[in-house]
Structure 1
Amino acid sequence: MNIKFFGATREVTGSCYLVQVNNKNILIECGMFQGSHEHERHNHDPFPFDVSELNAVVVSHAHLDHSGRLPILIKEGFHGSIYTHNATVDLCKIMLIDSGYIHEKEARWENKKRERKGLTLIEPLYTTAEAETACQYFKGLTYDDELEICEGVKLTLRDAGHIIGSAILELTLVEDGVNKKVVFSGDLGHKNAPILRNPFIVKHADLVIMESTYGDRLHLSWQDTWREMGKIIAKAKSSKGNILIPAFTVGRTQELLYEFKQHFESWQLGDWQIFLDSPMGIKATKVYAKHREVYDKKAVDIQHDDGIFNLPNLHMSETTEYSMKINQISSGAIIIAGSGMCTGGRIKHHFKHNIWRQNAHVVIVGFQARGTLGRSLVDGCRHINLWGEKVQVKASIHTVGGFSAHADQEGLLEWYQGFENKPPVVLVHGEKEAMDILAQKLKYLHQVDVTQASYKQNIII
């Protein structure tokens, strides 16, 4: 029995691990590389294993850094089953198809330039049709039910609390009469986050493959986060401007709508028009509304009323025409739109109509990577470039630091502490500094063997 590591090794994207047992090959995750152009070029690399020899694929959740290369896998000859949670199946149908559309659009744009220069045209990484084909191979599961996915391999999904349908993967492996239990954490959720339950505590494993995204930091408390959000909304009301919130379409958008409902009276949200201006965000919100079986107790109690996202003044903006009409409003609008890091999407159009206004407010509620427009705003830039036009930034920029779909260092350590036998750990899905610090903490607190996975490393179970 062994595991080979082909992604998310000392970085946070491209999750991909190959489990080999009993002459079977099980691929865990098939994620895209995201970030810089150098990172994204790796998406075109051939898979470092024989796709035809795979017996099954397991995906922990729908984020593209865990699922985004599945259409390529199918295109290259894998025709087995892709096992994941039912809610992840629904989200992947949205996210992979949208990803295919974006790849087609980018290829068309690039080919226009290449054609003028007499260069060879390129193919999209995959198309919308290829993404639709990949979705036919999903097999939806529920939490806590064990399933034998191939000879000698049993899979159980546990709730990871990261986004809806996210799972901790428990694999029970049998070879030559020897049983081993390997646990993949997937992405672990931020404790006490809105809507979802806290990550499931696993009590025993022979090996733990554990994420380390925020292994070096602590999050602002939820109580302080909501207090800060309330103050921003009150300030924006007094200045009679609009509030723009760039938000990730899956997870962050739904958390915002949920908390808007919880604080509707105290934040005086009845005085605003609230717009969800994101076609994919609207679709993802419908998936969240559908899968009530994974809500935490508070959300379950609330949904018996009229749903957890329903607000009397919430407008769902799907069409381009509707989105353009929002920009005629100069005061009293809260606009939630993608993309979360302001690199594209409708939020940039709202910036064009608002960010130069002194009474406007931009609320940053997610991580902003270096080199993104969102990061420039967080860092205090006074001008931004929108479609070749230099636009002055006069709006107030607020960064609310408590939002995160990932467990912080304290949450990661608390989750590992639940293992009664203190199994060895392999850290993945984290930058080097975060991994180093979390490894030191685990060794100091639990005297446990910790490995930081490297690319193509092979670990015997």
Structure 2
Amino acid sequence: MQDTTLKFCGAARTVTGSCYWLQTDQCSFLVDCGLFQGPKTLKELNYGPFPFDPAKIDFVLQTHAHIDHSGLLPKLSTLGFDGPIYATEGTKDLLTFMLPDSGYIQEMEVEHLNRRNLRHGKPEVEPIYTREDAEACLSLLEAVDYQVWTSVGPGVRARFWNAGHILGSASIEIEIDQENSAPLRLLFSGDIGPDNKLFHPDPEAPSDFDYVISEATYGGRERAEVTPEARQNALLQEVSDALDHDGMLLIPVFAVERTQELITDLLALQDAGKIPKAPVFLDSPLAIRVTKVFQKHASDLEDLGPRPRFINNPAIHATETVEQSKQIAKIKGGAIILAASGMCEAGRIRHHLKQWLWQDKATVLFVGYQAIGTLGRILNEGAKNVKIHGQEIRVKARIRSIDTYSGHADGSELTEWILERAPVKRALILTHGEEPQLKALKSALLNKGFDDNDILIPNLDDVITLGGKAAPTVTPPLERRLPPAALVGPDWHNDLTELVFELRDKFEEAADDKARGKLVRRIRRSLRDEA
């Protein structure tokens, strides 16, 4: 009888691309199958082959609907996977809209890219999958209830627990039968929500596991305790400052949860007369559809009445069509635009940023996590110039951020959640975090009594043997899809874009054409010397 193995196919020393591949002597399955987001080097993994044969995967256990956890499910099914995808009812309903939307965005992004490639004589590329592929994948979704054991495969049982992150989110408890010994007990955290989060009770799960695989997104970050009043006051200040003197406020939003939270608080502040009754444009077809899912599940959520207002409110202008979206461009100020995507990597927010980033009367307010290499992270870190759809744009807008709407537990909350899972008999495995956050969470846990040998931090494509009597160790693969160094920061694509902007600034600052010619010669000499 072979030991169970666990391969880290994503979200290892990086935040996105969550995908865990488990093999037992009776079956092969995944926990999550997410899209990589961030630098181009990382996103290129989405186009490459999986590190396993999709046709030999028996089933998938899905923690929640966010695209960095679910976005490669359609690719999995197009390449031969035809087993069930187990998820909560809320996750299933969200994926019904989110996966086809993801396919559509990829089709549109590739269409824009191929136009540029054609002009530069480069070959065309194919989308990772299409909207039609995603719609076909939906038939594989099977809903499960929280806190009910489900036989998901031969010798494997799973139970889903509220993770307090978004609608339908779950931590997944797994038991795997072993010959002549007790079942192997695992817990995959998924994404853990913070305490006192709008709409959700605090996260919960049982204790006493052989292995706990925990996210570490904010493992080294602490935030002040967020009350509903503090959350609304933070938003109040930012909205008031942004709309002052007929300003324009752009909020890049995640279609799931963040949009609905912001709408709830914006309406409350407007009704209380604390902010102007400026028009609020919800410019995201996906967010509009997801909001309807929230209305369907209103009775299962906290802080909502049986008939939440959301988009059924005259203050909210929901723009579904492209033409409706284009009409927003005619507005010169005094309005709020909520548009996806939350990290500015795709969607309509990029069109609004092209129109407003170069204007000093605009404010861009970030309200969620920004992965390394994304346009949102680049703006949030103070970039003076960016490139959108191949066009260079000078940044003059105010760039602001608040973390009171974060859907992730901070370092202390993650530490407490992990301690409540004790005893963890074999190993705690930290994933879904950038290097500093992983190290900070490990340090905090060592201070709470964990042994250094009992905390593992794998790299992408590493394998751990879970069964057997030997101490668990991380085994590197024979070949890695990316070296570990490629996961720890912006890649050369980001560096090249920044260099181009720096060169242009140098040329503009040069006193005259003679000085510019001298600069050209210096650059050419440097390139020749490097060669």
For the 8 Å contact 1:225–1:401, the answer to whether it is kept is no
Q: Does residue 59 of structure 2 align to residue 53 of structure 1? A: no
Change (3 A) 1:330 1:205: same
Unaligned runs of 5+ in 1: none
Cα distance, 1:143 vs structure 2: 1.3
Change (3 A) 1:308 1:325: closer
Cα distance, 1:308 vs structure 2: 5.7
Q: Does residue 206 of structure 2 align to residue 189 of structure 1? A: no
For the 8 Å contact 1:249–1:281, the answer to whether it is kept is yes
SS of the residue corresponding to residue 210 of structure 1 reads strand
How far apart, in 2, do the equivalents of 1:125 and 1:198 lie? Answer: 36
Q: Does residue 221 of structure 2 align to residue 217 of structure 1? A: yes
Q: Does residue 455 of structure 2 align to residue 453 of structure 1? A: no
Cα distance, 1:362 vs structure 2: 2.6
Cα distance, 1:356 vs structure 2: 4.9
For the 8 Å contact 1:181–1:207, the answer to whether it is kept is yes
Q: Percent of aligned pairs with the same residue? A: 37
Alignment partner, residue 408 of structure 1: 410
SS of the residue corresponding to residue 209 of structure 2 reads coil
Change (3 A) 1:19 1:373: closer
Change (3 A) 1:272 1:53: same
Alignment partner, residue 397 of structure 1: 399
How far apart, in 1, do the equivalents of 2:387 and 2:438 lie? Answer: 35
Structure of greater Rg: 2
Alignment partner, residue 40 of structure 1: 43
Cα distance, 1:30 vs structure 2: 1.2
User: Structure 1 stretch 99-108 or stretch 122-131: which is displaced more?
Assistant: 99-108
Amino acid at match of 1:349: H
Amino acid at match of 1:209: I
How far apart, in 2, do the equivalents of 1:419 and 1:58 lie? Answer: 20
Unaligned runs of 5+ in 2: 468-531
Cα distance, 1:81 vs structure 2: 0.6
TM-score (norm 1): 0.90
Cα distance, 1:113 vs structure 2: 5.0
How far apart, in 2, do the equivalents of 1:385 and 1:32 lie? Answer: 22
**What are the Cα deviations for residues 379-426 of structure 1, in whole angstroms up to 9, with x where unaligned?**
445555566766565543322233311111111011112124244311
**What does residue range 11-410 of structure 1 map to in structure 2 within 5 Å?**
11-112=14-115, 120-177=123-180, 178-223=182-227, 224-266=230-272, 268-269=274-275, 271-296=277-302, 299=303, 302-304=304-306, 306-307=308-309, 310-381=312-383, 393-410=395-412
Report the aligned-residue RMSD. Answer: 2.6
Alignment partner, residue 509 of structure 2: none
For the 8 Å contact 1:356–1:391, the answer to whether it is kept is yes
How far apart, in 2, do the equivalents of 1:426 and 1:115 lie? Answer: 45
Change (3 A) 1:257 1:388: same
Change (3 A) 1:107 1:390: closer
How far apart, in 1, do the equivalents of 2:404 and 2:263 lie? Answer: 16
Cα distance, 1:324 vs structure 2: 2.5
For the 8 Å contact 1:254–1:309, the answer to whether it is kept is no
**What are the Cα deviations for residues 346-388 of structure 1, in whole angstroms up to 9, with x where unaligned?**
3343345544555443322123345444344434455555667
For the 8 Å contact 2:260–2:310, the answer to whether it is kept is no
**What are the Cα deviations for residues 288-339 of structure 1, in whole angstroms up to 9, with x where unaligned?**
222235413xx2xx31354466544111111222222223333432211122
How far apart, in 2, do the equivalents of 1:328 and 1:121 lie? Answer: 34
**What are the Cα deviations for residues 247-279 of structure 1, in whole angstroms up to 9, with x where unaligned?**
122221111112223434345346222111111
How far apart, in 2, do the equivalents of 1:66 and 1:451 lie? Answer: 21
Aligned residues: 457
Cα distance, 1:460 vs structure 2: 1.6
Alignment partner, residue 433 of structure 1: 436
How far apart, in 1, do the equivalents of 2:69 and 2:231 lie? Answer: 28
How far apart, in 1, do the equivalents of 2:83 and 2:337 lie? Answer: 42
Cα distance, 1:137 vs structure 2: 0.7
